[in-house]
Amino acid sequence: MLFPARRLLAAATLLAGLLGGIAPAAAADPAAADVERGRYLARIANCVACHTSEGGKPFAGGLPIRTAAGTLHSTNITPDAATGIGSYTLAEFDRAVRQGVARDGRRLYPAMPYPSYARMRAEDVAALYAYMRAGVAPVSQRNPEAQMRWPYSMRSLLVVWNALYLSGSPVRTDAAKGAEWNRGAYLVQGVAHCGACHTPRGWLYGEKGLDERSKRFLSGASVEGWSATNLTGDQITGLGAWTRAEIAEFLHTGRNAHATSFGPMSTVISTATQYMTPRDLDAVAAYLKSLPGARGETQPFRHDASTAPRLLQGRYDSPGSRQYSQFCMPCHGADGKGFARVFPPLAGNPTVADPDPASLVNLLLNGAVTARVNTAPTDYHMPGYGWTLDNQELANLLTFIRGNWGNRAAPVSEAAVAVRRRELEATR
């Protein structure tokens, strides 16, 4: 299903500021401890990003989520009795979060990531419940009606979907792999639902793989016109070249020596993963590092030094090279190595090597902003070139960066840029 990335990012920026100052209080009594644990889990699970509309009150819902089947809205999950979930019992809340059934029996669309939350432990759902009741201010705000096309408008059909795709089984533990790995598996597969974006979906939108036993799990997928990259151990398009500490750094700050975050992942970092404890960040990284490459890329990236002198001497012998030196080189460098943590490298960058160039096309058309995080006071901008350069020029530029400095990804066609430009104009 599709995510309104730009809206989410705007909401995220606002919320990161809003929530940033709240530090978990040292809780003396068990009930307060539960609320604090729930507050943390709600952050990691990123309930707020979807359940808050642009400029709206936290958790009051109303964010439109556009999907191929129509538009639906997140709902009000503040403890308001009339319009929110104030009258939900713990059992009803649990059923909504882990099985996708609302209090009134309404089946929820899997835009609410209950297939991942289904794998959460009951005590964690109870802590979430404690927090949602005690730590969130009630807001009176009615839920907009979903506008889904027939037959998707028939919520009862979701019974069938759930029978096919909802696995009630908890996250598989493996004592031999140690505490970090097991904690990481639980966070990645359950609470933090990384697979909801990074695992490809099949017919009827079911995730093709829920854990490391499937080769498709976290192998890269399309999310609202972006490509959520391969998180398995592949050297070129995955995280094979990233150390455990570098993965943790990326999730904490939205940048590291290899890449910077943008689009939907900047939202995830701004509202959720930047708040993970160092131990949880390390656990997630440890788990990801244990995943063998899904695409069998075992050869490490080798930087090719022959591109830089050609650009510096003005030997523009391939399409896109002149534009690269004119528009991109000031920030990303003649050697494609950028300036780590400020201007990401393009050489050996998994986004640049991604078989699906969707994110690259978006970045060039519209530009991007790095994640808003507490550790970095400034967010850097990548300018958009959609108004300066035509589709063929943008395609040439992308083909150039995908085929130089040692990058070996397929060219990008003019048609691919044209299609995306039209889509973006239609949703503007």
- Residues in 84-113 at the binding interface with ligand HEC, rule: CB under 6 A: 85, 93, 96-97, 102-103, 108-109, 111-113
Q: At CA 192, angle to CA 84 and CA 343, rounded to 5?
A: 115
296: left (phi over 0), alpha (psi -120 to 50) or beta: left
d(CA 262, CA 354): 15
Q: Is 192 in the site for ligand HEC (CB under 6 A)?
A: yes
- Residue from 52, 74, 290, 321 touching ligand HEC (CB under 6 A): that is 74
Task: Provide the minimum distance between the beta carbon of 238 and ligand HEC in the complex, in angstroms, as a whole number.
Answer: 7
Task: Provide the minimum distance between the beta carbon of 210 and ligand HEC in the complex, in angstroms, as a whole number.
Answer: 14
Task: Provide the minimum distance between the beta carbon of 408 and ligand HEC in the complex, in angstroms, as a whole number.
Answer: 15
d(CA 319, CA 151): 47
d(CA 362, CA 295): 24
Q: Whose Cβ is closer to ligand HEC: residue 71's or residue 374's?
A: 71
Task: Provide the minimum distance between the beta carbon of 367 and ligand HEC in the complex, in angstroms, as a whole number.
Answer: 8
Interface size with ligand HEC, residues (CB under 6 A): 78
Structure tokens at 123: 């005590």
Location of structure tokens 């750094």 = 249
- Residue from 118, 265, 365, 412 touching ligand HEC (CB under 6 A): that is 265
Q: Is 275 in the site for ligand HEC (CB under 6 A)?
A: no
Q: Is 340 in the site for ligand HEC (CB under 6 A)?
A: no
d(CA 332, CA 312): 13
Largest interatomic CA distance in the chain: 70
Q: Whose Cβ is closer to ligand HEC: residue 113's or residue 200's?
A: 113
Instruction: Write the CB contacts of 191 (distance below 8 Å, at least 6 apart in sequence).
Output: 41, 44, 45, 116, 117, 120, 124
Q: Whose Cβ is closer to ligand HEC: residue 17's or residue 383's?
A: 383
Q: Which of residues 16-55 bind ligand HEC (CB under 6 A)?
A: 42, 45-47, 49-51
Q: Which amino acid is at 387?
A: W
- Smallest CA-to-CA distance from 167 within 127, 208, 139, 108 is with 208
Q: Is 352 in the site for ligand HEC (CB under 6 A)?
A: yes
* Distances from the Cα of 22 to the Cα of 39, 58, 137, angstroms: 10, 14, 14
d(CA 161, CA 52): 26
d(CA 192, CA 185): 10
Instruction: Write the CB contacts of 391 (distance below 8 Å, at least 6 apart in sequence).
Output: 414, 417, 418, 421
Find the part of the chain contacting ligand HEC (CB under 6 A) among 11-19, 209-217, 311-319, 356-364: 356-364
For 189, what's the count of Cα atoms within 13 Å in the CB-facing half-sphere?
27
Q: Whose Cβ is closer to ligand HEC: residue 25's or residue 101's?
A: 101
Q: Is 197 in the site for ligand HEC (CB under 6 A)?
A: yes
- Residue from 146, 210, 291, 417 touching ligand HEC (CB under 6 A): that is 146
Q: Whose Cβ is closer to ligand HEC: residue 55's or residue 175's?
A: 55
Task: Provide the minimum distance between the beta carbon of 5 and ligand HEC in the complex, in angstroms, as a whole number.
Answer: 8
Q: Is 290 in the site for ligand HEC (CB under 6 A)?
A: no
- Residue from 226, 275, 301, 405 touching ligand HEC (CB under 6 A): that is 226
Find the part of the chain contacting ligand HEC (CB under 6 A) among 31-39, 176-184, 255-263, 413-421: 255-263
Q: Is 184 in the site for ligand HEC (CB under 6 A)?
A: no
Q: Whose Cβ is closer to ligand HEC: residue 327's or residue 374's?
A: 327
Cβ atoms within 10 Å, residue 234: 24
Q: Is 60 in the site for ligand HEC (CB under 6 A)?
A: no
Task: Provide the minimum distance between the beta carbon of 28 and ligand HEC in the complex, in angstroms, as a whole number.
Answer: 25
Location of structure tokens 């939205």 = 254
Q: Is 131 in the site for ligand HEC (CB under 6 A)?
A: no
